[in-house]
Amino acid sequence: MTTPETEGALSNKVIITVLGGDRPGIVAAVAGALSEREANILDISQTILQGIFTMTMLVDLAKADFSELKDHLDELSQSLGVQILMQREEVFKYMYRL
């Protein structure tokens, strides 16, 4: 239920997607980066399709800073050679609504 106080307020939840060539350590590196910043993984799905690794995570940032985590994931993306995208849950839902 939306109240005047919460209307327009941003959720602490984000969607993180990872895409790239499969190799050992991708899940561990991303999960480690989240853990170091006290971000909580609420749900996770991952698969490998003909050598292409894909992972989608729903993450709670109640104790983490969005901008700082995004910057770190951008650096991690470069070092792992994969694409990592982080979006606020509201933005993700709006972009992919049916």
pLDDT digits (tens, 9 = 90+) for 7-61: 455 679 999 999 999 999 999 999 999 999 999 999 999 999 999 999 999 999 9
Confidence of residue 98 (pLDDT cuts 50, 70, 90): low
Q: Range of 53's domain?
A: 13-95
Section 72-96 average pLDDT = 88
User: Would the pLDDT of 66 be above 90?
Assistant: yes
Q: Which residues pair with 56 in a beta bridge?
A: 17, 45
Quick check: is 58 in a domain? yes
Residue 3 lies in a domain: no
pLDDT the model gives residue 9 = 58
Give CA–CA dist 35/41, Å, rounded: 9
- Residues 6 or more apart whose Cβ sits within 8 Å of residue 79: none
pLDDT at residue 3 is higher than 50? no
Q: For residue 17, give the CATH number of its domain.
A: 3.30.70.260
Number of domains in the chain: 1
In a domain? residue 76? yes
**What integer pLDDT is reported at residue 11 of this predicted model?**
78
Whether the predicted pLDDT of 90 surpasses 50: yes
Is the residue at 7 inside a domain? no
Does residue 20 belong to any structural domain of this protein? yes
Q: Kindly state the DSSP code that residue 23 receives in the 8-state scheme.
A: -
Residue 8 belongs to a domain: no
Q: Residue 2 domain-assigned?
A: no
The answer as to whether 60 is a domain residue is yes
